[in-house]
Amino acid sequence: MAGHKNQIESGMLPSVFFTRWTAVHMNRLIRFFSRRTAKVEEMVMTPDSTEEAPLQTPSAHELMCAALIDKEFYLEIYPDIAAAGVDPLKHYIDAGYREGRCPLNLHSANAAIKVANALEYAPADITALSLHITLELACSDFDRVNAAAALYKNHVLDHPQPFPLIGSFEQAASFMVGSWIRHESLISISVIKELISKILGYFPESCTLSALYGILLFEYGELTLAKKEFSKNPELRNLPPEVLDICRQSLQQISDAEAVNARPVPDAGILLLDSAFPSKISSFRYGEFSTYLTTIEDSALQTRPDKNLFRYGESSTLAVQINDFAQRNGIARERVRRFDTDHISNPKVAYCVFLNLADLFFTQIGIPAAKHLIFTLYPGGGFAPNDPRSDASLRRLCDNPKVSRIITTQIPSYRYLIDNGFCSPDRIVHIFGGIIPELYSETPPIPRTTGKPAIDVCFVAQRYSPTGAEKGYDVFAQIINKFSNNPYINFHIVGGFDASVIDLGNANNVTFHGTKPASFFPEFYSTMDAILSPNIQRSTLDPKVPETFDGFPTTCVVEAGLQGVAMFLTDFQNMNQNLAGTPIFSADEMEIINRDCEMICARLQYYIENREELHKLGQKGRMAILREFSFERQMVPRIALLKNHLSL
């Protein structure tokens, strides 16, 4: 499942809470050195002597200083040395080293080489070691940061230090936590948490390190320990703004969790895990998990609410959401709790959706009691073919013998697992499509508008890039221009698009509806005749981005087709096939298009002239959606799968 809800349905949205290490901190470090209180000692000149002085072998200290110093840089940042007219190396050896002055530009290309050479002469020198640690902390490699922390503990911590390293460690810790939150890190949260805890032990006075450790405890699900760590700085003082923001959100969720988790933990055989439920923002997850909870009595759910739910319209607290769900469905409220690693109970089966969540719950955190781990590998949600992070997550999961079954919903996902040796076919359950809960209510579609002078064609998608090209808005704009002001066709655009995104000239047969809630669409689609989705993999347009792909059909297209809207969509991944290779949808149920504007316009012109054919396409498409996304095809095999593993 993907489409206009792809990001929120992933459960773990990309975050901008932290920025990468930049030159700013290094510049601050250099300014710190340059501001050190120091005076140039008077240089006592030895009188000329007619006697030849014996040659002296340079000491290790002198060789180390000579290896470190960049004379031009030294004179540039210390104008008092330049004004005195003394040799910068001699000054650094005799006085600058002791005063804690910086001998080299830490941004220079040869800084690491100079520090390494200095350590060859004086391996235990605290200044050289501190500079080496600073450079290592500035990188983005976990192993190097971990090694730098060990070096600090073993050789620097208990000695007088030429300059404080706390800022460098805080920056490195911020980067690692931010990288994990943005889903960019290949390192498990448990490993990062262990390292941050160790660094915090070296700098217990650091508010930033304490806050970062509290954030990791919270993200890991150790809510009691997280609250205890945050309580060390109850006013959240002296924190960077981005860290402060996450701390506040975490504390709010801890407060919500305390209200929800006051009830006893149910000892259920099946533990459902999610990051959206019971919010209705992600409607397919609401429908799927609601079905499990109402049809499988021996099941319970723990949720780890994604912070971005509120950006997409959720306004109720978790306690209110759970109470509403329990009352509406007649189940005990304690069967839905806030995820807490201290109160998981002893489930036999654990289940979740999306790669990101499976990696988090099953690999990084772990559900120790569960004998069987099952997840659905939907498109999106961290799954990006040939992406190192995605592949690492898949490999960890497939190497775990407790992962008994993986549900795939699209043929590319199924083939990727097998063709790349992640797992054998016997561990995969392939169920094409996804959960469309609107189908299960047996509510008839809203009567369609007929006898109109023009056909209404819509484009529905969120905008995640400047022109929305991956969703096909660039092609849709071309089509509008071709039919500009044609009295027999009107265009409708729903999502984050307006007239400023792409110039549509003077077309007056276009309506921009903006971003709309789920309640808007049934009535909207009842007035539409066709939906166009010329979407394509973003990696095809920009090879630098991961190879993510939308599901087929997209969520928007399925919801429109359910209301009898004729479906026009691309299939560049050849997803319109089952495991036997035969088509899932036939040509009289939907129009498979490409991104050729002329071809699409020709088909639209045909349907403008043949309205009844367009109506038939919509009705046959609706019956196909009802067939493929029915409760019997989607939920019945999933329920049977969970129950079967509960009995094993």
Quick check: 188 and 364 in contact, CB under 8 A? yes
Considering the domain 23-39+57-255 in this protein, what is its CATH number?
Answer: 1.25.40
Q: Where are the domains of the chain?
A: 23-39+57-255, 265-437+635-647, 440-628
**pLDDT at residue number 445:** 77
The predicted-structure confidence for 177-227, as pLDDT tens digits, reads as follows: 999 999 889 999 999 999 999 999 999 999 999 999 999 999 999 999 999
In the predicted model, is pLDDT for residue 18 greater than 80?
A: no
Asked if pLDDT for residue 13 goes beyond 70, the answer is: no
- Integer CA distances (angstroms), 487 to 477, 531, 614, in order: 17, 18, 17
Six-digit token string for 245: 């923001």
Report how far residue 644's alpha carbon sits from residue 648's, in angstroms, rounded to the nearest whole number.
7
Mean pLDDT of 304-316: 82
Residues in a beta bridge with 592: 569
Q: How many residues does the chain have?
A: 648
Is the pLDDT at 318 greater than 50? The verdict is yes
| CA–CA dist 282, 511 (Å, integer) | 26
What are residue 430's DSSP bridge partners?
408
Split at pLDDT 50, 70, 90, the class of 546 is confident
Cα–Cα distance for residue pair 65/83, rounded to 1 Å: 21
Query: Using CA atoms, how far apart are residues 485 and 487, in angstroms rounded to an integer?
Result: 6
**What does the alpha-carbon distance between residue 631 and residue 103 come to, in Å, rounded to a whole number?**
71
Cα angle 165, 167, 169 (rounded to 5 degrees) comes to: 70
C-alpha to C-alpha distance for 512 and 505, rounded to whole angstroms = 14
**440-628 matches 265-437+635-647 in CATH topology:** yes
Mean pLDDT calculated for residue range 266-295 = 94
Tokens representing residue 5 in the block? 């809800």
Q: What is the pLDDT of residues 284-297, one digit of tens each?
A: 899 999 999 999 99
List the strands of the sheet with 591-593, edge to edge: 510-514, 489-494, 455-460, 530-533, 566-570, 591-593
DSSP 383: B
pLDDT at 1: 39
Confidence grade of residue 50 (pLDDT, cut at 50, 70, 90): very low
Distance from C-alpha of 335 to C-alpha of 294, rounded to nearest angstrom: 11
| Contact by Cβ (8 Å): 165, 156 | yes
**265-437+635-647 CATH pick, 1.20.120, 1.10.287, 1.25.40, 3.40.50:** 3.40.50
**Among 35-44, 62-71, 129-138, 466-475, which stretch is predicted with the lowest mean pLDDT?**
35-44
Alpha-carbon span 605 to 241, nearest angstrom: 55
pLDDT bracket for residue 442 (50, 70, 90): low
**pTM confidence score:** 0.83
Is residue 633's pLDDT more than 80? Answer: yes
Q: Does residue 51 carry a pLDDT above 90?
A: no
Phi, psi of 570 (to 5 degrees): -85, 160
Q: 459 has which bridge partners?
A: 493
Cα three-residue angle 396-401-407, rounded to 5 degrees: 75
Residue 106: exposed, middle, or buried by beta-carbon count in 10 A (0-12, 13-18, 19+)?
A: buried
Tell me the fold of 440-628: Rossmann fold (3.40.50)
